[in-house]
Amino acid sequence: MTILFSTGLVLLAFFLVLRLYPPLGAKAAGDRLQTVRGSAHYVKNKFVNLIPTSMSTGFRDMLSTVKEMIRGIPNSRPQPGITAGKLNPADLVNPKESKVIWLGHSSLLVQISGLTLLLDPMFGTAPSPVPFVGGKRYSPVPPVDVNALPPIDAVLLSHDHYDHLDYGTIRRLHRKVGHFYVPLGVGAHLERWGVPAAKITETDWWNELELKGLKLRCTPSRHFSGRSLTDRNATLWCSWVLEGEQEKIFFSGDSGYGPHFREIGKRYGPFDLTLMECGQYNERWEAIHMLPEQTVLAHQEVGGKLMLPIHWGAFTLSLHAWTEPVERAVAAAEKQGVPMVTPRIGEPVLLGNTPQPSTRWWRNA
């Protein structure tokens, strides 16, 4: 009886955490759930990729991963201060000047067509449901405080993983935001966290939207989703196309390499700037996170002119050195003759025929 009682308490506690702990988000219900079920990409109660996608998650692979983590990864984090860039509010004074400011990892501030957008804003201390657990941000504070941001016309999210959708960030940020554009199912998280339903637009792959003259295209990626043990692939993941009056930008979100890049290029390319994932990869999960050499190839296939590598520089979420992603991406780009921009965190990249930041600043680590 004691064993049964104890087991029951553990199960009850587990159930209550899943239901009541806000950072875990919420599941789609009502009209949201009906929209999810109506997607052509929702099969047998979960979203699926355009092509078969799996990760090496067998016992041997997991054991090998754990052993590597225990041994430690050389140069897995930078020396203090190396990545601690800051956004300068003065760089945001003229929103009519098209620019992109990398905020570390996959967080970006974009000004285009007179609008100010945030892509996958993550200003938390760790990509984890429990902030004091997990890999901490390299810098003690994020590159900008939410209170220092100007009004944000829109936030675009690529998926609901913790390094891209952060509970604390949304709670502090949402009153500054005019609207949220998210893939199917993700709106339930935002609504639970206090974002009014009227400020949320959920969308499927290949849907075309418009915000004050700026064209937004929700496009595929090759990945997965989930914030707890019971919601794997319950929400959609995506990439985004931003088409302004003068410039076009492609944001890859998280993705393994696949034929969707070429299809996106055919439909919406070429792009003045691509924001391409290049880090947190491993051969065990190559299907859902590109290798840096594939990143450069994907940039070419979507029709990119200038490439900015993202998904690195803020957290250690894989088994490689923290500088390895950008070093490999730079080498591949140079080999293929692909123009690449490598700004420090917080340094603006102006769109157009202007000199671009391309110093190898991370080598000072």
**What pLDDT sits at residue 303?**
98
Judge whether residue 139 has pLDDT over 80: yes
Q: What average pLDDT does the segment 196-220 reach?
A: 98
Judge whether residue 10 has pLDDT over 80: no
At residue 152's C-alpha, the angle toward residues 148 and 153, to 5°, is 165
**What pLDDT sits at residue 19?**
60
**What pLDDT sits at residue 135?**
83
**What pLDDT sits at residue 16?**
44
Judge whether residue 57 has pLDDT over 70: no
Q: pLDDT tens digits, residue range 228-237? A: 989 999 999 9
Q: What average pLDDT does the segment 152-181 reach?
A: 98
Q: Which one has a higher pLDDT value, 95 or 257?
A: 257
**What pLDDT sits at residue 61?**
67
**What pLDDT sits at residue 58?**
63
Name the pLDDT band for 93 (thresholds 50, 70, 90): confident
Of the chain, the percentage scoring pLDDT greater than 70 comes to: 92
8 A C-beta contact, residue 205 and residue 239: no
**What pLDDT sits at residue 133?**
75
8 A C-beta contact, residue 215 and residue 207: no
Tokens of 331: 């080498």
Judge whether residue 81 has pLDDT over 90: no
Name the pLDDT band for 352 (thresholds 50, 70, 90): confident
62-76, 77-91, 124-138, 313-327, range with the lowest pLDDT: 62-76
Tokens of 61: 């692979």
- What is the spatial distance between Cα 136 and Cα 84, in angstroms, rounded to a whole number? 13
**Taking Cα atoms as reference points, which of 114, 53, 116, 69 lies closest to residue 320?**
69
Q: State in Å, rounded, how far the first CA of the chain is from the last one.
A: 58
At residue 105's C-alpha, the angle toward residues 103 and 108, to 5°, is 40
27-41, 56-70, 305-319, range with the lowest pLDDT: 56-70
**What pLDDT sits at residue 14?**
46
40-49, 78-87, 147-156, 194-203, range with the lowest pLDDT: 78-87
**What pLDDT sits at residue 15?**
47
Of the chain, the percentage scoring pLDDT greater than 90 comes to: 79
**What SS3 string covers the chain?**
CHHHHHHHHHHHHHHHHHHHCHHHCCCCCHHHHHHHHCCCCEECCEECCCCCCCCCCCHHHHHHHHHHHHHCCCCCCCCCCCCCCCCCHHHHCCCCCCEEEECCCCCEEEEECCEEEEECCCCCCCCCCCCCCCCCCCCCCCCCCHHHCCCEEEEECCCCCCCCCCHHHHHHHHHHEEEEEEECCCHHHHHHCCCCHHHEEEECCCCEEEECCEEEEEECCCCCCCCCCCCCCCCCCCEEEEECCCCEEEECCCCCCCCHHHHHHHHHCCEEEEEEECCCCCHHHCCCCCCHHHHHHHHHHHCEEEEEEECCCCCCCCCCCCCHHHHHHHHHHHHHCCCECCCCCCCEEECCCCCCCCCCHHHHC
Judge whether residue 60 has pLDDT over 80: no
Name the pLDDT band for 167 (thresholds 50, 70, 90): very high
8 A C-beta contact, residue 274 and residue 252: yes
**What pLDDT sits at residue 12?**
43
**What pLDDT sits at residue 94?**
86
**What pLDDT sits at residue 132?**
79
Judge whether residue 282 has pLDDT over 50: yes
**What pLDDT sits at residue 96?**
85
- What is the spatial distance between Cα 272 and Cα 288, in angstroms, rounded to a whole number? 25
